[in-house]
Structure 1
Amino acid sequence: MNIDFANLGLAYQEHKQAIDQAMSKVVNTSSFIMGPAVTELENKLSHFVGAKHSISCSSGTDALLLAMMAMDIQPGDEIITTPFTFIATAETIAFLKAKPVFVDIEETTYNIDPLKIEAAITDKTKAIIPVSLYGQPADMEEINSIANRHNITVIEDAAQSFGATYKGKKSCTLSDIACTSFFPAKPLGCFGDGGAVFTKDDYLAEKIKSLRLHGQSKRYHHQYVGMGGRLDTLQAAVLNAKLDHYDKDVKRRQEVAQTYSKYLKHHISIPVIKKDRTSVWAQYSIRVEQREVVQQKLKAKGIPTAVHYPMPLHLQECFAYLAGKKGDFPIAEKVSKEIMSLPMNPYLTEEEIEYITTNLIKTL
């Protein structure tokens, strides 16, 4: 059996007619930049998550940049985040010459540990960026409470959790600002790079819209120093077609995760989803010893795996200037050595999952 990790090809085939029609409309009208499909998508995103403002942009990375630029983050400002995430979360902080301040994670959910945040706050702290990792929202109520006490902003990095819920509310509406990604392998992915910023703040929304268009308030009048951060109309068209079916995709991803857990729960620690929230299962990640050996054995059986993420950010070469060292964040360091993601997509059959888990159990 040969398993497809994300099965992007089947995702296209399932919605081929609607996607092709949407893309053809863009091509035939030549509305490649900020065409009607972009406005349509932003309205649909707002309706889907319940956000007042949804501003599409060129990637999840640029969404984070735009959020911090709108906040007027300055060199020397400090932003608290997790060391166990994709580099974009902290990279964008450093890009603006602000300082990433890392806080260790919970060992069960792999999200930032809210109990450790307050000790990291200083008079230079301007924001907290919790990451809703692998599809499950972080402890946003506790994080927002801390932020309110210290008058700092919370930016949810929801790159992996679009469509998940927390206490009945959708991810991307749980904080002052939220950012998501539509990278192709995300639960809702386009055919290239794409992202969005969400906020209920009218001023921030208008500023972000301007910043993504080189800071223009009107054509060739630049109120801010901005960036070329627009979402291509073709990508918006793809997302419009796929968003119509996204609830079904999320449900199927959750069923896949439940089936994995059914086969694995007596053999290995399975992912923990807290009772007051749901996950969209961007990944189904487990922890194993001798990870590379396990991966090679599974690969020989036609089972792909991935590691998200093999090295915490405080140990990355690009952040050496922060003087991070081994032992600083022991849980993140431990998890990074053991974490391994199994194939996850809405199209995995029970037969395939049984095949994956049976062969996995044999390696343990």
Structure 2
Amino acid sequence: MYDIPFFNYPAIYKRFEKEYDAIFKDVCSRGAFILQKDLAEFEAALAEFLGVKHAFGVNDGTNAMILGLKAHGIGPGDEVIIASHTYIATAASIKLVGATPVFADIGEDNIFSAASAAKKITSKTKALMPTQLNGRCANMDEVGALAKQHGLMIFEDSAQGLGAAFKGKRAGSFGGFGTLSFYPAKVMGCFGDGGAVMTNDDAIADRLYEMRDHGRNHDGEVVDWGTNARLDNLQAAFLKFRMGNYAEDMQRRREIAKMYHDGLSGHDKIYLPQGPSDGDHYDVYQNYELAAEERDALRAHLANKGIRTIIQWAGTPVHWFEKLGYGREQFDDLPRTDWFFDRCLMLPMHMALSDADVKAVIDTILEFYES
């Protein structure tokens, strides 16, 4: 028996316990809780890392998308094309500004397909919003070409994509805005909810700055309707510290992914994500999501051996949510998404994994198919 959790939440704190304790005491002793220098310093470090002009810490990734959409005037009567293989928050952010999410299929890399999106464009379409999923970017050349052809904006749900790149350009830096999530299980998580919204547009940056803090401008004057979507300064201080270790985290996740890739490649019942050396893509492997025949039996076998896995989004792409007015039977143009969700499975992928843990996962999977 093994003891390999899907994600090790206590390990987030234990890894840098002394440093986090010192940060907590420093911030709290200064009474620096809301919109203080720690947040400004984190935002500057994040913008530099991503290669963007502006980054704003907000309270979570969902509100980051809502703010970005509202800043660009997306609202009733508008359509935004997304992949159905995404978290419900992507579609919800569009609905909550009064617009309509339209679902595209995924490609062979299980991410937003520009070819599928091209078939969904109407006179109401205003933007393409790929989800930079599992720590991988969509093919942004294809997305960009499609947007240019039809005069559409590009937005990015890059909640899982911090550090991912396509042709050297970071996720979250391609379009009118990009977003991040710092939920604890993200590749760089904080100790609660947190997020960021980024842009290279100065006018949009002013709107985002105002909207996240009750419509107040840089002079503290209320100039528009806004909301309270600020990132807590204490969380920003923790994240500022984590930025200093992030290169190490990206490298380790890529090492784990390579072990999975090398150990499981060539099996006719397992469909792996792309490997770490994949041409124009630089993946940071927020998750290691594969497809497997006999998925449920495999998952039970792993659990019986003490290895925990999960099925992303509780096994439900957005277009399957019947209580939201959708349903699998309503869509016959998302075949890859349907195929994938009948088989998808995420293996453990976190910084507390040892090489021995990864080898145990690989060996147990192979044992299942060989039995």
TM-score by length of 1: 0.95
SS in 1 for 2:126: strand
The CA deviation at 1:217 is 2.6
Matched, 1:306 2:310: yes
Q: Could you list the per-position Cα deviations for residues 300-325 of structure 1 after superposition, in whole angstroms to 9, with x for gaps in the alignment?
A: 11100011131221121343169971
Aligned to 1:187: 187
SS in 1 for 2:184: coil
In the alignment, structure 1 segments of 5+ residues that lack a partner are: none
Aligned to 1:125: 125
SS in 2 for 1:216: coil
Q: Could you list the per-position Cα deviations for residues 323-351 of structure 1 after superposition, in whole angstroms to 9, with x for gaps in the alignment?
A: 97143411111111110000001232221
Aligned to 1:358: 363
Q: Could you list the per-position Cα deviations for residues 50-107 of structure 1 after superposition, in whole angstroms to 9, with x for gaps in the alignment?
A: 111111100011110010010111112100111111111111101112000111111x
Q: Show the 5 A alignment for 1:232-311.
A: 232-267=232-267, 268-273=270-275, 274-309=278-313, 310-311=315-316
SS in 2 for 1:173: coil
Matched, 1:217 2:217: yes
Aligned to 1:319: 324
Q: Could you list the per-position Cα deviations for residues 263-308 of structure 1 after superposition, in whole angstroms to 9, with x for gaps in the alignment?
A: 1113232211541011110111111223222211111111000111
Q: Identify which range, 186-195 or 108-117, moves more after superposition.
A: 108-117
Aligned to 2:30: 29
Aligned to 2:64: 63
Give aligned pairs, total.
363
How far apart in 2 are the matches of 1:321 and 1:95?
Answer: 17
Q: Identify which range, 220-229 or 173-182, moves more after superposition.
A: 220-229
Aligned to 2:229: 229
* Aligned amino acid, residue 26 of structure 1: V
Matched, 1:38 2:29: no
Judge conservation of contact 1:256–1:346 (CA < 8 Å) in 2.
no
The CA deviation at 1:191 is 0.5
The CA deviation at 1:165 is 1.5
SS in 1 for 2:271: coil
Judge conservation of contact 1:73–1:98 (CA < 8 Å) in 2.
yes
Instruction: Report the CA distance shift for 1:184/1:130 in structure 2 as closer, same or farther (over 3 A).
Output: same
Instruction: Report the CA distance shift for 1:55/1:322 in structure 2 as closer, same or farther (over 3 A).
Output: farther
Judge conservation of contact 1:63–1:197 (CA < 8 Å) in 2.
yes
Aligned to 1:146: 146
How far apart in 2 are the matches of 1:209 and 1:286?
Answer: 39
SS in 2 for 1:55: strand
How far apart in 1 are the matches of 2:306 and 2:292?
Answer: 19
Q: Show the 5 A alignment for 1:2-17.
A: 2-17=3-18
In the alignment, structure 2 segments of 5+ residues that lack a partner are: none
How far apart in 2 are the matches of 1:101 and 1:340?
Answer: 25
* Aligned amino acid, residue 178 of structure 1: G
**One of 342, 345, 352 as aligned partner of 1:340:** 345
Aligned to 1:19: 20
How far apart in 1 are the matches of 2:266 and 2:359?
Answer: 14
Instruction: Report the CA distance shift for 1:235/1:324 in structure 2 as closer, same or farther (over 3 A).
Output: farther
The CA deviation at 1:149 is 2.4
Instruction: Report the CA distance shift for 1:79/1:318 in structure 2 as closer, same or farther (over 3 A).
Output: farther
The CA deviation at 1:220 is 7.4
Judge conservation of contact 1:327–1:333 (CA < 8 Å) in 2.
no
How far apart in 2 are the matches of 1:115 and 1:225?
Answer: 38
Aligned to 1:86: 87
Q: Show the 5 A alignment for 1:80-119.
A: 80-106=81-107, 108-119=108-119
Judge conservation of contact 1:135–1:160 (CA < 8 Å) in 2.
yes
How far apart in 1 are the matches of 2:136 and 2:274?
Answer: 9
Matched, 1:204 2:204: yes
TM-score by length of 2: 0.93
Q: Could you list the per-position Cα deviations for residues 170-193 of structure 1 after superposition, in whole angstroms to 9, with x for gaps in the alignment?
A: 212122211111110000100011
